[in-house]
Chains A and B, each alone.
Chain A
Amino acid sequence: MNILALDTCTEMCSVAMLKNGELFEQSVPTQRGHSEKILGMLDEILAQANCRLSDMDCIAFGRGPGSFTGVRVGVSVAQGIAFAANLPVVPVSTLAAVAQRAIDEHGAENIAVAMDARMQEVYSALYQSVEGLAELSGEERVCLPEHIQLNTEQPFFAAGTGWKEYETSMTTMFSRQVNAMDNELLPTAAAIAKLALKQAEKGNTLSAEQAVPVYLRDNVAKKKGEQ
């Protein structure tokens, strides 16, 4: 199984390829330059792995949450490539990708992911390592840091930039449960590829036009009556 993965949802621009189990990856921190970088990075990763687009079995992408524009750039690129190359897609949560990195890089078992969502809010979700893969328990949410509900009594690994942005309020709130923390972790395409592999093997793929963003924040404007 060959998977080409990409993510532009956060201040990381990231591509990866899983070529029959062998991982190739490249990530660069970037605030706004994703659109200028992403296709060139995909060219490079294909060259590195000595593969062509037609050798791929599917395209995996970070489907959000993240910066609205960033999420759309990644989803649009995945749509365009998958449609042109007639490949299925696998959407992967950016929060799950952060949890996956905590598992891979820190051996975490229970992971509470919090990602900065701007407007004083955080995106959050709770994950468990099941056979080394991040599995969601409960649901993904966007809310004020003080309203986070993790629905667990267990100690957990705190992962993601939300734990840095709102460090004092959040670590105080969960001081009895946070047993370790990495508040620099951002989603990467490598983690996305890994999570996508399992889905692709199970046949959980979508067609290109079914690739849609998950923003979590959906009340973005007021209708005339509410203004």
Chain B
Amino acid sequence: MRVLGIESSCDETGVAVYDTEKGLLAHRLFSQIAMHAEYGGVVPELASRDHIRKTLPLIEEVLADTALTTKDIDAIAYTAGPGLAGALLVGAAIGRSLAWALDIPALAINHMEGHLLSPLLEEPAPEFPFVSLLVSGGHTLLVDVKGVGQYELLGESIDDAVGEAFDKTAKLLGMDYPGGPYLAAKAEQGIADRFVFPRPMTNRPGLDFSFSGLKTFAMNTWLDTEQTDQDKADIALAFQTAVVETLAIKCKRALKRTGHKRLVVAGGVSANKALRNKLDAMKGVEVFYPRQAFCSDNGAMIAFAGAMRHQAMKHQDVPSFTVRPRWPLNELSPP
């Protein structure tokens, strides 16, 4: 069975085809980052305007890559939330209408479930159950995953998401949007332990996070220096180390609490090398990641989540589409 996946929740248009027998057949992505960078952040209206120009051309490319036609597609999966309402609506409308016209099932996919399942696209794929750490620009979640759709929220950020904290800190250090990857690169030139940042919410029990204080700490530290390039690198490193250690401490706790032996990390920040090194060093735990290209938003994870859900699904296909800009993972149920 082949599923066409469409992702348009934020500033990336992604399209892919996943085959339940042969795996991922093709994927294409168009990133709007360069456009939004001129505005210093994502402009929702411009994001929507771009998705509607890019989605069909990407679908055509993916079909050409696989030498398939629309007739060879068995179901359409599209991101229905969480994300920007206007951006989501474009992918949802195109995806649902394609399915309507082709008379095949349509699957409204939760974007976070897409991220959460994305490491299953890799070999070896983690088996259920596992603990999932979702770290992106909009979310920081620890989830107990027992199967597709069986998600128990263990912890989340009470303020800024990790990616957001990276981006805001990068911005105050004068880096372009989105600054996460630039900050990570700068940290490589940093001198360890010159500055020490707090590890928020680690000295009390619980699995929630708070990252907004780190950005303020970074700001005050920055203002106290002469703001040389080395100061910048040292602060970047201190910030990143604090974030990485905080995430690692909470992951360990979550694994202990659930008794699981597998940790799955996904979302844009899972591309971060320091984070990967730290988590890989944990004893008695197998750690799984998506490939670099699928850490941030992409169509492959949506096609894959669609395939997982479709295989087990009893269909009641209503000819309509709605999006949910807010859609917590724990409201999902198994297919």
Residues of A within 8 A of B (CB): 35-40, 42-43, 53, 68-69, 72-73, 75-81, 83-85, 208-209, 212-213, 215, 220-224, 227
Q: Which residue of A lies closest to B58 (CB)?
A: A209
- Nearest first, the 3 closest Cβ-Cβ pairs linking A and B are A80-B97, A76-B93, A84-B101
Any A CB within 8 A of the CB of B322 = yes
Enumerate chain B residues within 8 angstroms of A223, measured Cβ to Cβ.
38-39
A212 to B101, CA, bound (A): 19
Q: Determine if B40 and A227 form an interchain contact, defined as CB atoms under 8 angstroms apart.
A: yes
Enumerate chain B residues within 8 angstroms of A221, measured Cβ to Cβ.
39, 43, 45-46
Enumerate chain A residues within 8 angstroms of B56, measured Cβ to Cβ.
79, 83, 208-209
Enumerate chain B residues within 8 angstroms of A81, measured Cβ to Cβ.
97-98, 100-101
Residues of B within 8 A of A (CB): 38-40, 43, 45-46, 48-49, 52-53, 55-57, 59-60, 70, 85-86, 89-90, 92-98, 100-102, 318-323
A83 to B6, CA, bound (A): 15
Q: Which residue of A lies closest to B38 (CB)?
A: A223
Enumerate chain A residues within 8 angstroms of B98, measured Cβ to Cβ.
80-81, 83-84
> Taking chain A's interface residues, is the majority helix, strand, or loop, or is none over half, making it mixed?
helix
Q: Which residue of A lies closest to B319 (CB)?
A: A39
6 more A-B contacts (CB under 8 A) besides A69-B48, A84-B102? Answer: A40-B319, A68-B86, A72-B49, A72-B86, A79-B97, A84-B98
A153 to chain B, nearest CB (A): 38
Q: Determine if B45 and A80 form an interchain contact, defined as CB atoms under 8 angstroms apart.
A: no
Q: Determine if A69 and B320 form an interchain contact, defined as CB atoms under 8 angstroms apart.
A: no
Enumerate chain B residues within 8 angstroms of A75, measured Cβ to Cβ.
52
| Total A-B pairs, Cβ < 8 A | 105
Q: Determine if A80 and B95 form an interchain contact, defined as CB atoms under 8 angstroms apart.
A: yes
Q: Which residue of B lies closest to A53 (CB)?
A: B101
Enumerate chain B residues within 8 angstroms of A83, measured Cβ to Cβ.
56, 59, 70, 98, 101
Q: Determine if B100 and A220 form an interchain contact, defined as CB atoms under 8 angstroms apart.
A: no
Enumerate chain B residues within 8 angstroms of A77, measured Cβ to Cβ.
93-94, 97
Q: Determine if B90 and A76 form an interchain contact, defined as CB atoms under 8 angstroms apart.
A: yes
Enumerate chain B residues within 8 angstroms of A222, measured Cβ to Cβ.
39
Q: Determine if A76 and B94 form an interchain contact, defined as CB atoms under 8 angstroms apart.
A: yes
Task: State whether A79 and B94 are in contact (beta carbons under 8 Å apart), knowing that A35-B320, A208-B56 are contacts in the complex.
Answer: yes
A80 to chain B, nearest CB (A): 3
A196 to chain B, nearest CB (A): 18
Task: State whether A39 and B43 are in contact (beta carbons under 8 Å apart), knowing that A72-B48, A76-B89 are contacts in the complex.
Answer: no
A85 to B103, CA, bound (A): 10
Q: Determine if A39 and B96 form an interchain contact, defined as CB atoms under 8 angstroms apart.
A: yes
A42 to B100, CA, bound (A): 10
Q: Determine if A39 and B322 form an interchain contact, defined as CB atoms under 8 angstroms apart.
A: no
